[in-house]
């Protein structure tokens, strides 16, 4: 459910015509719907209401401070994977005690920053990382709260690039070895074992993998208790899918209905780390048709948004609906919607049936709120685009478009070249 709908043939973002925003702010342009974001966040909060929990939004899916602030104001926490994300989450007003930190390559500086900020816990991905966190905490004369990220070896049935909970991938600690690692962790002087973490992948469209993975983790928690290691936090990760094309993924309520009964009677705090399922369908990328070019068996629609603005189609062959901002009754033709970047892999859609377009018309790339702007780059020296938040009939610029000067702002010419 989202608030990008047609009214009399014209696409609206909440109560504002998308065309007006494109004219005012220019294209390409990311537009987010406040009420969709809020609704999706609350869907999680309400679904898990019956059990002690924290919703830690996965910052990597969308790291705009205004959006993080929205979640902070509604009781949300953050799942971070870098020092930069920690900085942004704190800037946005997310309480440090609601921040969990994953990622296989945390540096000493990042560990220090997180310890100094007193985050809720580190989700540790290897033995050497555990020893490093112990060492750094020791130097800082503090104790590091940790969970071990367990790899439950469950196939979530999604794209290999966004699968994480299988043995062959770099994430987490194999579940068979978990007990051993926990024993080690409990012995380390500057480590405080408080949780278990798992995250099995992204864009998961079934409940079963979540249930199976949770069951495996609960067995581990029982074994740990028997050995005297008391777990307080069960971090179940994120990964719930959204509808890009015709998927019918479960909603948070379905997830809660299946997970909470497994947790009942246990004195745990459940942590959820949703990213895509909150922001994905709450954002669109608006782009303008620059040129139409006849190919042999299809038409190339050349638009002003490229793979640097939205890389998901190029990187994962991901599907995004592409719709006209103003509907028309022209005939349909097979089109490749491509960007201006000098790469053959620069496309937003391939062999897509689209109504014949005219130069200068606006298109909306749907479901672009997650892993859209946050994965964007300056490739081909293209300034990063603007982001706008719409609430009812009001709109707010939440990130201004970069200028050409921004492109060279951080560079220096050595004296000998001056």
Ligand X SMILES: *Cc1c(COP(=O)(O)O)cnc(C)c1O
Footprint on this chain of ligand X (rule: CB under 6 A): 58, 60-61, 79, 81, 102, 199, 202, 237-240, 273-277, 370
Residue 332 CB, shortest distance to ligand X, in Å, is 33
Residue 368 CB, shortest distance to ligand X, in Å, is 14
Report how far residue 61's alpha carbon sits from residue 374's, in angstroms, rounded to the nearest whole number: 6
- Name the residue among 375, 379, 322 with its Cα closest to residue 352: 322
Between 79 and 129, CB nearer to ligand X: 79
- Name the residue among 120, 129, 88, 116 with its Cα closest to residue 101: 120
Looking only at the bridges linking them, the beta strands covering 144-151 and 233-235 are unpaired
Between 60 and 216, CB nearer to ligand X: 60
Selected catalytic residue, list 267, 294, 342, 416: 342
Residue 61 CB, shortest distance to ligand X, in Å, is 4
Between 287 and 376, CB nearer to ligand X: 376
- Name the residue among 216, 282, 206, 290 with its Cα closest to residue 248: 206
- Give me the sign of the Cα torsion angle 336, 341, 346, 347: negative
- CB–CB of 310/348 below 8 Å? yes
- CB–CB of 318/304 below 8 Å? no
Between 190 and 269, CB nearer to ligand X: 269
Residue 199 CB, shortest distance to ligand X, in Å, is 4
Between 277 and 287, CB nearer to ligand X: 277
Report how far residue 196's alpha carbon sits from residue 224's, in angstroms, rounded to the nearest whole number: 10
Residue 296 CB, shortest distance to ligand X, in Å, is 38
Residue 16 CB, shortest distance to ligand X, in Å, is 27
Between 102 and 188, CB nearer to ligand X: 102
Structure-token pair, residue 382: 């293209």
Specify whether 56 is catalytic. Answer: no
Between 12 and 122, CB nearer to ligand X: 122
Residue 163 CB, shortest distance to ligand X, in Å, is 11
- Name the residue among 58, 50, 42 with its Cα closest to residue 235: 58
Report how far residue 23's alpha carbon sits from residue 218's, in angstroms, rounded to the nearest whole number: 53
Shortest-Cβ-distance residue relative to ligand X? 275
Query: Catalytic site residues?
Result: 342
């Amino acid at each position: 459910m989202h608030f990008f709908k047609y009214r009399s043939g014209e696409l609206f973002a909440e109560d504002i015509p998308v065309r007006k925003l494109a004219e005012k702010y220019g294209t390409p342009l990311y537009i987010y719907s406040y009420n969709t974001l809020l609704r999706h966040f609350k869907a999680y909060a309400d679904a898990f209401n019956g059990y002690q929990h924290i919703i830690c939004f996965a910052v990597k899916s969308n790291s705009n401070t205004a959006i993080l602030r929205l979640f902070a104001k509604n009781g949300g926490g953050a799942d971070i994977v870098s020092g930069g994300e920690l900085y942004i989450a704190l800037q946005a007003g997310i309480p440090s005690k609601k921040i969990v930190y994953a990622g296989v390559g945390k540096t000493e500086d990042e560990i220090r920053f997180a310890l100094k900020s007193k985050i809720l816990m580190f989700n540790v991905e290897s033995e050497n990382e555990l020893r490093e966190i112990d060492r750094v905490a020791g130097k800082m004369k503090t104790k590091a709260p940790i969970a071990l990220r367990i790899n439950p070896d469950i196939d979530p049935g999604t794209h290999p690039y966004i699968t994480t909970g299988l043995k062959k991938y770099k994430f987490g600690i194999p579940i068979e070895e978990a007990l051993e690692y926990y024993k080690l962790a409990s012995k380390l002087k500057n480590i405080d074992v408080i949780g278990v973490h798992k995250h099995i992948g992204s864009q998961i469209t079934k409940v079963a993998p979540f249930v199976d993975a949770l069951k495996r983790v609960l067995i581990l928690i029982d074994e740990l208790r028997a050995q005297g290691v008391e777990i307080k936090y069960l971090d179940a990760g994120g990964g719930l899918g959204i509808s890009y094309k015709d998927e019918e993924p479960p909603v948070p309520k379905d997830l809660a209905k299946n997970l909470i009964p497994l947790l009942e009677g246990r004195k745990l705090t459940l942590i959820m780390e949703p990213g895509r399922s909150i922001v994905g369908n709450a954002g669109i990328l608006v782009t303008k048709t620059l040129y139409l070019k006849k190919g042999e068996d299809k038409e190339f629609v050349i638009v002003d948004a490229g793979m640097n603005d939205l890389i998901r189609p190029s990187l994962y062959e991901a599907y995004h609906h592409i719709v006209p901002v103003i509907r028309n009754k022209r005939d349909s033709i097979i089109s490749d919607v491509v960007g201006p970047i000098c790469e053959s892999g620069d496309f937003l859609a391939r062999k897509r049936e689209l109504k014949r377009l005219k130069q200068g018309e606006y298109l909306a790339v749907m479901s672009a709120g997650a892993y859209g702007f946050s994965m964007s780059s300056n490739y081909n020296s293209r300034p990063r685009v603007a982001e706008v938040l719409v609430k009812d009939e009001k709109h707010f610029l939440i990130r201004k478009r970069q200028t050409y000067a921004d492109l060279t702002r951080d560079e220096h010419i050595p004296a000998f070249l001056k």
